[in-house]
Structures are given as structure tokens and as C-alpha cells.
Amino acid sequence: MRDARELGGIEVGVLALATIPLRSKKEGTGRRDVPVSFGGVTWTPGQYVYADDDGVVVAREMLHDAT
């Protein structure tokens, strides 16, 4: 991941294997709302992701009310 310092200051869980100083190549391609697999998990649109310093949980439904 890039910009680790900035990401560390927001209220979103971020889990990365390492940082890298190189920018990505923006080619204007990509798809939305499709499953992707990495880290041994298939991330499916509509799932809920909870992360903290201890790990990450992926759930099919909301585990708690965020309000």
C-alpha cells in the first residue's frame, strides 16, 4: 500500500503486507461490484468487513448497528 501515514489517521481498518513508494499505473480500466480474491478470502460485493489491530472479519450481514 501507499500513503501509510495518511491511512493511519482515518477511521478505516487497513491491513497490508507491506508499503511501497511506487505509484500504480492508472490505465482507466477496471470493474465494479465483482468478487475479488486475495489473502485467502473471496471478497464479495455486499459483504461487511470489520478490521482492527487484531485482524479482519468478513460477514455476509451487518454484525452490529453502527449508529
Per-residue pLDDT of 14-45, as tens digits, reads 777 788 888 878 888 888 999 999 888 898 99
Strand partners, 41: 38
User: CA 63 to CA 48: how far, in whole Å?
Assistant: 8
- Cβ atoms within 10 Å, residue 56: 13
Domain span including residue 49 = 38-67
Residue at 29 is within a domain: no
Which is more confident, 8 or 31?
31
pLDDT given for residue 48 in this prediction: 92
Which is more confident, 59 or 64?
59
Does the predicted TM-score (pTM) go above 0.75? no
Residue at 4 is within a domain: no
pLDDT given for residue 65 in this prediction: 75
pLDDT given for residue 3 in this prediction: 82
Residue at 24 is within a domain: no
Tally of structural domains, the chain: 1
Residue at 47 is within a domain: yes
